[in-house]
Homo-oligomer: A and B are copies of this chain.
């Protein structure tokens, strides 16, 4: 009666059991060898490995996932439309770091975009089904519900850039505060005295930290606080143009601008051009990100470099340890779960 049990048997993929039979050992022993357990004698291990090779055995992921309650996969979730993902080098750099670090392991990376409501809906389903062991979350805004969803589902997650000073999720960030200070101190050392700042989106914590760094660098150098030298931007080119225009109107005598991103700086540059200001002769300009734009701008843009690729690697490290460690998150200390990486100023002709 070749009924049910025969499903895909002959000619199908070999199973653990078949490997065990071939090697003349039990199922458990083969499992131990496959999973690298040390409690197997060398002779047995060799026999099993030979059988695995002969049969071309590959473990069935679904069966393993069902029995062990893990998937050996993690997701990189991008809460943005795909377009932005491709447009910004930030993501591709991060992906490079993530991929590199992950290639050391057996983990699989899924790339998931959640830009539209529909996509977010699908993502929620996906996470609820626990189809990944952990999640990497990049570019999250202050009011995003995703981190809470992850916490509720008890899925380990690492976020790039905390949402606030009180972030409870594990995170890896660059030193936004320090980076901003570097930028401003650089401008001061070049003899600039009237330094303006165009901010990033104010609902992004990193943008806030850059404002703090800007303020503190100035006051530490003995400059009186002047909040009118700060103008809100939103990380976009148009935002930079708009903000720069407003700043020039308010402070025709300013001699330097620190922009919260290179793209913003590009917008600012345009406004400066239109106003007849020369860079860097009349106004020095510093950006943030050290992206391709910075190198190709005319004149090349001084910028603050973030080690994005390394951030990607560190995020994976953190996430994998969280996944391995499956204790309730509250048990662990926050210290080792919130990394801040140093930034570096890259001086170019614009300052």
Residues of A within 8 A of B (CB): 7-8, 13, 56, 58-63, 65-66, 69, 71, 82-83, 86, 89, 92, 95-96, 99, 103, 108, 110-111, 113, 118-119, 122, 125-126, 128-131
Contact = CB atoms under 8 A, between A and B. Distances in A.
Q: Within the oligomer, what is the number of copies of this chain?
A: 2
Contacts of A108: 110, 126, 131
Contacts of A126: 108
Contacts of A92: 82-83, 86
B122 A103 contact: yes
A61 B131 contact: yes
Nearest to A119: B103
B62 A66 contact: yes
A266 to B, nearest CB: 16
A75 to B, nearest CB: 10
A110 B113 contact: no
B58 A129 contact: yes
Contacts of A63: 62, 66
A131 B13 CA distance: 13
Contact of A69 (B8, B56, B86): B8
24 contacts: A13-B130, A56-B128, A58-B128, A58-B129, A59-B129, A60-B66, A60-B129, A60-B130, A61-B65, A62-B63, A62-B66, A63-B66, A82-B92, A82-B96, A82-B99, A86-B86, A86-B92, A99-B113, A103-B118, A103-B119, A108-B126, A108-B131, A110-B110, A111-B111
Contacts of A113: 99
